[in-house]
A and B are shown apart, each in its own frame.
Chain A
Amino acid sequence: TQLLEQSPQFLSIQEGENLTVYCNSSSVFSSLQWYRQEPGEGPVLLVTVVTGGEVKKLKRLTFQFGDARKDSSLHITAAQPGDTGLYLCAGPLYGGATNKLIFGTGTLLAVQP
């Protein structure tokens, strides 16, 4: 059983569409991070959310941390082919070591031109 479940697992959309990716857990996390990984590359950190209810925006990407710090979402507005990749959420468990990141199951996004 994965501690961090992401949905959907796969998503194929047309350029210009909006989408939301979810990251859910029954456990509380100290913070949550979102990474994007492209084929043949390592994950690249996009954002870290720390406070319950926090919303962060990175250009067309909006990240939200749930009030109870058990879930997070990533919303992409007007998706572009460059957004294609594997999106991973990750975080340290609340009360656990901050250096031990637990990664989500991943969402593979394909944006068609």
Chain B
Amino acid sequence: DSGVTQTPKHLITATGQRVTLRCSPRSGDLSVYWYQQSLDQGLQFLIQYYNGEERAKGNILERFSAQQFPDLHSELNLSSLELGDSALYFCASSWTGNEQFFGPGTRLTVL
């Protein structure tokens, strides 16, 4: 158990819909990272928040957004969903920035 929690575990929705994925970091970690893992692209960095502020952006689509709240939990919002957005979405947290601890992931299926 990494100490990082993610909800929900599974999410099935339709194209065009909007969903929110939730992540609670390990106690004491200020940074939260979001990743997308698909069969063809592997594990791709989306975005990082540090203590409530956006710190780094990766390959995140404009239809996707994230935020980190004062209690340090984070949410990833995915809108106008497409079939190709089906993937595993992971949240990770860290204290040092270099070593990240991953949550169990949310499996998103877009039908």
Across-interface contacts of B104 in A (CB, < 8 A): 40-42
Give bound CA distance, A58 to B110, whole Å. 40
Q: Which residues of B contact A66 (CB under 8 A)?
A: none
Contact A43 B102 (CB under 8 A): yes
Given A40-B104, A42-B104, A99 contacting B99 (CB threshold 8 A):
no
Residue of A with least CB distance to B107: A40
CB-based contact B45/A100 at 8 Å:
yes
Main secondary structure of the interface of B (DSSP, over half): strand
Partner of B99, one of A2, A40, A45: A45
Complex: A33 Cα to B56 Cα, angstroms? 20
A92 to B100 alpha-carbon distance, docked (Å): 12
Q: Does B58 contact A (CB under 8 A)?
A: yes
Which residues in A have their C-beta under 8 angstroms from that of B55? Answer: 99
Which B residues are CB-close (under 8 A) to A90?
A: 43
Complex partner residue of A42 from B2, B42, B44, B48, CB under 8 angstroms: B2
CB-defined A-B contacts under 8 Å, sample of 13: A41-B104, A42-B4, A42-B102, A42-B105, A43-B90, A45-B100, A99-B56, A99-B97, A100-B48, A100-B56, A100-B58, A103-B42, A104-B42
| Seed contacts A40-B104, A99-B33, A101-B45; 13 additional CB < 8 Å A-B pairs | A33-B98, A40-B105, A42-B90, A42-B102, A43-B43, A90-B43, A92-B98, A99-B55, A99-B98, A100-B56, A101-B33, A102-B45, A104-B42
